[in-house]
Amino acid sequence: MDKNERMAEEILPLVGGKDNVISVFHCATRLRFELKDKSAPNEEALKKVDGVLGTKHAGNSFQVIVGPNVGQVYDALCEKNGLDKFDEVNAATADGVTAAEKADSSSDPMPKRVLNNVITYIMNSIAPIIPVLIGVSMWKTIGTLLGPSMFNVVAEGSDFITMCDFLFEALFYFLPVFIGYTAARYMKIEPVWGLFLGTLIITPTFVSLVGQVDTFFVFGVAVPVANYSQQFLPVLLGVWLCKYVLKGLNKVVPTMISGLLVPVITVGIMTFVMFAICAPIGGLIGNGISYVFMYFANAPLVVRVPVMMFLAAIGPLSVLFGVHVAIYVAALTAGAAVGYEAFYFPVFLVYCYVMYGMSLGAIFKFKKEDRGDAIGYFVSGFCAGISEPSLYGVCLKSKSSIAVMCVSGAIGGFFAGIFQLKCALLSAVNVFSLIPYYTVDSTTNIILGVVVSLGSMLIAAAGTYLFANFDEK
């Protein structure tokens, strides 16, 4: 039995066993469980499993942090225990109520329950597209590096540059379609409905009306005409509503004719709902978020720099609370229109390198028997872009280490704001993506970006060595 199979065998009983699992899938580093009994996991025992880096509650999700081999552990977990990948397990109970519905009937206060559900829904809809995001973003960066604005190896307008551009567009233009698919799977409806809702609001006929007319009539109601490509909130709202439309129709339409009437009525209802409600509201919220990011990216230094310092100081805590992916995608969407992001992404790089730097400092600060762990934390972050080992193994280990993390991040955020750094729309933060991240506009941006990122790492390493006390209670 290899390490991944052994981890899978040990993890499942410690989250309450197969009977406690509603669904399970994985992101870049974590197994994400939805559990019937959220108090069942033995977190202390899980943390002692060789290869498990930590655990985390985020929304309705219980997460086991594994690292870059999470895909192999997930495959072994599903295959050995007969779990359907990303499908609901033990869906129906004796009283006909699904486990997911029972999990929703939590004793938590309503505002907290709603917030948890929203965060979980967004995170679980976005996480599956991240591997594609990494791939297309790297090819876009390669095209920029080799193009005339950088090393001038490939001419502007060449087939290679064009190919890199449309690889990037294939994800971002059709983002509603990708999100529609993943959201539908999470909401336990046929994925084809999510695909339909995503394509509905970016169909060429509708998009061709942009700039020609201001409104379009859907069943006699005037709806705004806009380009909803690169938007993910409209389809998230639509898939959520579609679940209840389908559920309601299947209850009231006679079984003998449901195969015909339910699809026809659903398409009609959801067409109106998408164009009259979800797309305008989601677009308004999305544009508002984009405006916030663009405002701070172009704000005067006296405004931008303090905000970037604050975000860089507390950035690792967004990973702790599981909201970093949602913030990242919001910034990504804001930057997609111009091809780069100049507010959150520089902060993102700073606080990632601060975490890696603290592991570097811990190599010299930890006791001799623990230095091997620190080396592993540093390598997994600096080389593979996996920040959780550094976060849980070093940054949050004591009050003084948290202070070092915050101060180092604030220093890095200060210089990122002062130098007005711009970042390409990439995902993984590691030494191999460092230069590609700053491949925007000019070589000056690359040089300053690399200096700020690596400088933040070295400041954090020095701070850890000099000031962090890992023997604190």
- pLDDT, tens digit, for every residue of 375-429? 988 998 998 888 888 998 899 989 999 999 999 999 999 999 999 999 988 777 8
pTM, two decimals, is 0.74
Q: What is the pLDDT of residues 39-53, one digit of tens each?
A: 999 999 998 898 887
Per-residue model confidence (pLDDT) at position 122: 83
Q: Kindly state the average pLDDT of the residues 261-287.
A: 95
Per-residue model confidence (pLDDT) at position 111: 75
Distance CA 203, CA 227 (A): 10
Confidence label for 208 from pLDDT (cuts 50, 70 and 90): very high
Is residue 103 scored above 60 in pLDDT?
no
Q: Kindly state the average pLDDT of the residues 458-472.
A: 92
- Residue whose C-alpha is closest to residue 428's, from 392, 382, 459, 395: 382
Is residue 99 scored above 70 in pLDDT?
no
Q: What percent of the chain clears pLDDT 70, i.e. is strictly above it?
A: 93
Contact 374/366 with Cβ under 8 angstroms? yes
- Residue whose C-alpha is closest to residue 216's, from 164, 280, 291, 270: 280
Per-residue model confidence (pLDDT) at position 242: 97
Per-residue model confidence (pLDDT) at position 222: 97
Is residue 106 scored above 80 in pLDDT?
no
Per-residue model confidence (pLDDT) at position 327: 83
Amino acid type, 269: I
Amino acid type, 122: I
Confidence label for 131 from pLDDT (cuts 50, 70 and 90): confident
Per-residue model confidence (pLDDT) at position 152: 85
Is residue 210 scored above 90 in pLDDT?
yes
Is residue 97 scored above 50 in pLDDT?
no
Per-residue model confidence (pLDDT) at position 28: 67
Per-residue model confidence (pLDDT) at position 157: 87
Q: Kindly state the average pLDDT of the residues 133-152.
A: 81
Confidence label for 86 from pLDDT (cuts 50, 70 and 90): low
Q: Which residue has the higher pLDDT, 109 or 257?
A: 257
Q: Which residue has the higher pLDDT, 447 or 100?
A: 447
Confidence label for 88 from pLDDT (cuts 50, 70 and 90): very low
Per-residue model confidence (pLDDT) at position 239: 98
Per-residue model confidence (pLDDT) at position 136: 85
Distance CA 413, CA 205 (A): 44
Contacts of 244 (CB under 8 A, 6+ apart): none
Q: Kindly state the average pLDDT of the residues 235-253.
A: 96
Q: Kindly state the average pLDDT of the residues 274-285.
A: 95
Per-residue model confidence (pLDDT) at position 322: 65
Is residue 102 scored above 70 in pLDDT?
no
Contacts of 398 (CB under 8 A, 6+ apart): 468, 469, 470, 471, 472
Q: What is the pLDDT of residues 327-353, one digit of tens each?
A: 887 888 788 778 789 999 999 999 999
Q: What is the mean pLDDT of the chain?
A: 87
Per-residue model confidence (pLDDT) at position 91: 37
